[in-house]
Amino acid sequence: MRQPASLTARLFARFLAIAAALALSVQHAAAQSILRDAETEALFKDIGAPLVKAAGLGKGNVDFVLLNDPSINAFVAGGQAIYIHSGLINAADNVNEVQGVIAHELGHITGGHIIRYDEGAKAATSISILSLLLGVAAAAAGSPDAAMGVLAAGQQAAMGKFLAFSRVQESSADAAGAEYLSKAGISGRGSIEFFKKLQNLEFRHGYSQNEEATFSRTHPLTGDRIANLRDIYDKDPAWNKPDDPSLEERFLRVRAKLYGYLAEPAQTLAAYPPTDSSIPAHYARAYAYHKEAYVGKALAETAALISAEPDNPYFLELEGQILLESGRPDQALPALREATRLTGNNALIATIFGHALVATENPVNYPEAERVLKAAVARDRESPFAWYQLGVVYAAQGDMPRARLASAEQQVMEGRFPEALQNAEAALPGLPQGSADWLRAEDITLQARAALEDKKKKRKSKDDG
């Protein structure tokens, strides 16, 4: 049995809470934070899997990352990752359109076209929310009309932020994407329809479609791309193949929850009025009501979802998180515990569950919180919030060395190397020498020192120049 936390431990836990709140506020202010959501990531994995296989890439070798950005865009970066903007999901009419985009981006990966731009790399390391609902008090990303206005205004404007692929590379990716769709037995209808959306936006914003304008473009003319792809798809046996109804339903749910999270509540309720009794509509309204602090209405929407599908872990997750963020962590525990079980301890959902256990401030719940959070970071080490919660648990139980180590893990991920170095060095004396935790603390000190030295050299080089 662990001894009650000392005053020092309680003060350190409170310090961690304040520091994490500030960190999350800063991260939410970033223009392109990464949106983490278990249901969305599972959908991306499933709709992308047959295309990844068709591209000849190993299972699990391609990551899909959702960015909080209202423009219609997707891009690839180092490490075989496909970044998809929230605006693209909002603009897509069906799952087949998203698969068309994924196929195209896989063409860039297999063609070796990856160029990693500094801002993209920064976004990839700024993991700001562990689920779509976490931190709902953050400012909404803007209206659909505003999002449509930013829709890449011709692909050149949108893609230019991250990539400068040549027109030859884009054409190559188009052809490769068509090949992967065909091999996977997926229709190219969505690819054509999505290109038509981009073409309409180019017309709307006055981007020329004539040959004289091509010298200023990084992409081929959209009309030419549509014509070339249509010639390929018309001959493909999969052209008339219907979309998978299960994947389509999942896409509509994910699109609705994303819309409910990002849009202003009034816009969400206009798009998904109370007269709409579909599951996507309940999903979207639950987020809208929660953002407005209408807890009763939000829970009524989740109750409708759970009534329709009692064993859906994502509906249980939503109910639990609404309760948690409404100051009822004790009531949130059953739903979050079951959601964690049903997903086989999904790291994102387990982190929310661990957060709820910690938020009860009941020492009885701390051992379970420690087990849950340790399992979460073992599955997904790239979650600063999970490390923060684990640090709080350790501090509350008086285990200061591991509390310091957990803080160092969080800080090194956020690029806060001075703090990471300080906490890792403070943790070392209290950890069993040669243990896994001791070795990890050693690794962090080396990593932090190297990063600080590199920063110092760059600063000196800049000053000398």
CA distances from 308 to 69, 133, 279, 282, 340 (A): 32, 21, 8, 11, 19
CA distance 190 to 96: 5
Quick one: angle between helices 245-262 and 95-110, nearest 10? Answer: 90
CA distance 36 to 68: 10
CA distance 187 to 242: 8
pLDDT in tens, 242-275: 889 999 999 999 999 999 999 999 999 999 999 9
pTM metric for this prediction: 0.79
CA distances from 375 to 380, 387, 419 (A): 9, 11, 25
First-residue to last-residue Cα distance in the chain: 60
pLDDT band with cut points at 50, 70 and 90 for residue 219:
low
Identify the CA nearest to 49 among candidates 103, 6, 112: 103
The pLDDT value given to residue 168: 64
CA distance 117 to 163: 7
62 contact partners, CB below 8 Å, separation of at least 6 = 48, 52, 80, 81, 82, 106, 109
pLDDT in tens, 382-402: 889 999 999 999 999 999 999
Identify the CA nearest to 45 among candidates 190, 236, 254: 254
pLDDT band with cut points at 50, 70 and 90 for residue 60:
confident
| DSSP 8-class letter at 90 | H
Q: Helix (H, G, I), strand (E, B), or coil: what is residue 134? A: coil
pLDDT band with cut points at 50, 70 and 90 for residue 207:
low
| DSSP 8-class letter at 375 | H
Identify the CA nearest to 99 among candidates 60, 56, 68, 64: 64
The pLDDT value given to residue 310: 97
pLDDT in tens, 423-441: 999 999 999 999 999 999 9
Structure tokens at 35: 């949106």
CA distances from 278 to 273, 301, 415 (A): 10, 11, 43
| DSSP 8-class letter at 210 | S
Answer whether 19's CB lies under 8 Å from 120's CB: no
The pLDDT value given to residue 308: 97
CA-based max dimension of the chain: 77
The pLDDT value given to residue 193: 87
pLDDT at 144 over 80: no
Q: In what order do the strands lie in the sheet with 127-129?
A: 74-77, 81-85, 63-67, 34-35, 127-129
Q: What value does the mean pLDDT take over residues 121-150?
A: 37
Q: What percent of the chain has pLDDT over 70?
A: 76
The pLDDT value given to residue 27: 36
Beta bridge partners of 127: 34
- Length of the chain in terms of residues written: 465
Answer whether 261's CB lies under 8 Å from 136's CB: yes
Structure tokens at 309: 């599908």
Q: What value does the mean pLDDT take over residues 213-223?
A: 49
CA atoms within 13 A of residue 204's CA, in its CB half-sphere: 14
CA distance 152 to 159: 7
The pLDDT value given to residue 457: 87
CA distance 423 to 416: 11
| DSSP 8-class letter at 84 | E
pLDDT at 102 over 90: yes
Of residues 62 and 131, more confidence is placed in 62
State the SS3 of 378-428.
HHCCCCHHHHHHHHHHHHHCCCHHHHHHHHHHHHHHCCCHHHHHHHHHHHH
CA distance 408 to 423: 5
Query: Among 154-158, 272-276, 367-371, 436-440, where is mean pLDDT lowest?
Result: 154-158
Structure tokens at 442: 């050693």
What is the distance of C-alpha 111 from the center of its chain?
A: 25
Structure tokens at 430: 């209290």
pLDDT at 28 over 60: no
Identify the CA nearest to 216 among candidates 263, 256, 262, 160: 160
pLDDT band with cut points at 50, 70 and 90 for residue 133:
very low
CA atoms within 13 A of residue 454's CA, in its CB half-sphere: 8
